[in-house]
Amino acid sequence: MKNLVIVESPGKIKTIGKILGPDYKVLPCVGHIRDLQKRGMSVDTEGDFSPVYEIPADKKKVVQELKAATKAADMVWLATDEDREGEAIAWHLYEVLGLTPQNSRRIVFHEITKDAIQNAIKHPRGIDLDRVNAQQARRVLDRIVGFELSPILWKKIKPSLSAGRVQSVAVRLICEREKEIQAFKPESYWRVNAQFAAGASTFKAEGARRFPAETEARSFLQDCVGRDFCIGGVTVKPLTRKPAAPFTTSTLQQEAGRRLGYSVTTTMRIAQKLYEEGLITYMRTDSTNLSDFALGEISKAIKEDYGTEYLQTRRYHTHNKGAQEAHEAIRPTYVSNRTIAGTPQEQRLYDLIWKRAVASQMSDARLEKTRIDIVPAQGEEPWFKAEGETVKFEGFMRAYGIEASDDAPEGEGADTLLPPLKPGDAVTPRSVTATESFTNPPARYTEHTLVKKMEEVGIGRPSTYATIVSTIQNRGYIKHGDHDGNPREYRRLTLTDGNIASETLSENTGSTRGRLVPTDVGLVVNEFLTQQFPKILDYNFTANQEAKFDEIAEGKLPWREEMKEFYGEFHPRIEEVNGMRSENKVGERVLGTDPASGRRVSVKLGRFGPVAQIGEASEEEKPRFASLGEDQSIATITLEEALKLFELPRTLGEHEGKPVTASSGRFGPYVHYDKMFVSIPKDKSPHTITLDEALELIAAKQAAEANRLIKTFDELPGVEVLNGRFGPYIASRKEGARKAVNYKIPKGTDPKALTADEVKALMETQDAAPKTPRRGTRKKS
């Protein structure tokens, strides 16, 4: 074998192998092959902060295969990704495989195309040790913070918690937004809308001012009765909309969230696949630049598909300080590929990337904005106004639509056609409506708006956005809300034919569905860290640290000195906080006194989640505890709500001589009967559920359990063939084991007809099969 090419992901092997031909063997390292030792700090904090690396157990086989292939090759090409993580992976490969400058080359490419890869082979370079050091600095700093801070959380709050330098700051963003929302006091006001007729045409208008109360709104509607109106003025202004720049990692995650409803993790997973198949350029980038080749391809496509008048070549420049790594925006590798084969998700994301790249080189959209002022026939001040837009030239909007500019004012978009009117023309109000509205609190973050905020504040980099968002959810600090909100009444007055009718309506407010909300654990941890470690949770500190990583990557800053300076301030504070004593448990909130016993009522984090507590540990009588419901929070629960929790468990009655009770626990409300626990659905409460309703739930679970078991085998104790959520499968539970091991049943196999020998063979085959890591797995700090 003459040449060995090592890439990060198995997904690239086929495409790159085809391009390079039989003289090159392409193998994956599947992300990092070496990392900090799991045990201990693994950083020499008493010396020069050298990291202590090890090859994880799940990578030893990969390393053995790569070492064998290296010995058989004349030249090893390190083709890991071109960002800092990729540079560090290349360096670890160089070190572990014992490579030399004579038998190895470092190559990079930001797209998997024949031209790009052949060009990389022609122009190899050495490993950029400054980039490697920037990655090492990030990894070491994150290990120091996590290793020293997490045990304090275990001691002060609850076991098994973890703290991270960047993740904790992201949690702070969401917690602070939640506090703003909880502190917000909505104020009501009245807005007026009207339907006017002008000859045979009708159009909508809104009141020129808002009213603080119903009495003023009603008075205004009364003044409109029998009054003549006319056009007081018509203002027409030209309006230009410019296309947005091609996608960076951040803007792709934001737009895929807005337009396609993808999570940031889903977006990056699909983008990785498109990149590996040679369909788009590298997907971790800060750059909005397009290469000359791309500009030429896009210009050609615009002329052919839309016409020369739609072409306006533009060169975008990245404004983010510290923009790094890749040198081009995310774009299709070949613009001529208007559509692709693949899953619907892949096709939709590719289509979005294609449209954004092409639209960025198209002409401005030209619109005409018209404003009409409507005045009383005997007055000068406008009482109503109407606005509309007319598209004169679509420009980039023909390819991308109205939302291409991220800076477009909220609410702009749909064309509103107005009849041709001139000052003095008479108009007649068909109906006038005054509606009570309320001021809104700041919006909770979605995944894509959180990424936008993180980028604005300077938290993270393209390679870390998705990891941060998923990590804070996986660790239980943040969750996706599922609350539909609470009903709120509002009033409406309607003037028609000289009469004013009033009605009271209802709307839902405060919905968290699809939004990121902090859990009680997240709120308590955030409050503790912001009080005790304000510097670590400071946005400017985190952003400045990112800037220092950039300087290290540019060779302007010695990374070990930076680590020494940070640790010199951080470690003494760790020791100080560790020695502090507190009367109350961190995060505990006192609600008041139990009127029945006179004992203190409080809420806090327990071992298995948030709990309410009556009494104190220092009292002779033991405290009583009750778990909070899923929709309750330590931060907002009231004394009355907490006391209600102690009404559980509730005895509903008996069934076949055994008691049936309703209660609430770690996983929500449930019915308990015999040895069975049945979840209570969200439309019912453990405080009000009846015995008949509980028996229906029990019967439904018993039926499901009966249908779940397909087959057992006397000769294979602990082995069952079961019906599962995704179809039949084999479950094997060894004696004394807490969990069963599951095995797939091949498609087309009748699970009822399986014999013990066939089941045993399936289990043995799957046990012997190598466990393949997920494609492109890398550790991101």
Q: Are 68 and 1 in contact (CB under 8 A)?
A: no
Q: Are 108 and 128 in contact (CB under 8 A)?
A: no
Q: Is 282 a catalytic residue?
A: yes
Kindly report the backbone phi and psi dihedral angles of residue 715, in degrees, each rounded to the nearest multiple of 5, phi listed first. Answer: -80, -5
Position 26, amino acid: V
Q: Which residues contact 81 (CB under 8 A, 6 or more apart)?
A: 8, 89, 108, 282, 284
11 three-state secondary structure: helix
Instruction: Determine how many CB atoms are found less than 10 A away from the CB of residue 110.
Output: 27
Can you read off the two tokens belonging to residue 646?
Answer: 């102690």
Sign of CA dihedral 377, 380, 382, 386: positive
Residue-wise burial string across 186-213, b where 16 or more C-beta atoms lie within 10 A, e elsewhere: eeebbebebebebeeeebebebeeebee
Report the relative pairing of strands 75-78 and 3-7 from DSSP bridges. parallel
Closest CA to 181 of 686, 636, 652: 636
Position 127, amino acid: I
Q: Are 39 and 48 in contact (CB under 8 A)?
A: no
Closest CA to 415 of 244, 229, 241: 241
**DSSP code for 720:** E
**DSSP states of 217-276 as a string?**
HHHHHHHHTT--EEEEEEEEEEEEEPPPPPB-HHHHHHHIIIII---HHHHHHHHHHHHH
Can you read off the two tokens belonging to residue 689?
Answer: 């559920």
Selected catalytic residue, list 275, 282, 310, 400: 282
CA dist., res. 131 & res. 82, Å (int): 10
> Could you give the count of Cα atoms lying within 13 Å of 657 in the half-sphere of its Cβ?
0
| Distances from the Cα of 698 to the Cα of 145, 299, 484, 648, 685, angstroms | 48, 66, 27, 19, 15
**DSSP code for 69:** H
CA dist., res. 178 & res. 172, Å (int): 10
Q: Which residues contact 675 (CB under 8 A, 6 or more apart)?
A: none
How many H-runs (helices) and E-runs (strands) does the chain carry?
20, 28
Kindly report the backbone phi and psi dihedral angles of residue 230, in degrees, each rounded to the nearest multiple of 5, phi listed first. Answer: -145, 175
78 three-state secondary structure: strand
Q: Which residue intervals of 555-603 are DSSP H helices?
A: 559-578
Position 206, amino acid: E
CA dist., res. 313 & res. 361, Å (int): 5
CA dist., res. 668 & res. 227, Å (int): 60
Closest CA to 395 of 369, 368, 360: 360
Position 767, amino acid: D
Q: Which residues contact 246 (CB under 8 A, 6 or more apart)?
A: 288, 290, 316, 329, 330, 331, 356, 357, 360
Q: Are 6 and 78 in contact (CB under 8 A)?
A: yes
Q: Give Rg (Cα) of the chain.
A: 32
Q: How many residues appear in the chain?
A: 781
| Distances from the Cα of 353 to the Cα of 254, 280, 293, 404, 625, angstroms | 12, 8, 17, 12, 54
CA dist., res. 4 & res. 99, Å (int): 12
Position 629, amino acid: G
**DSSP code for 527:** H
Active site residues: 282
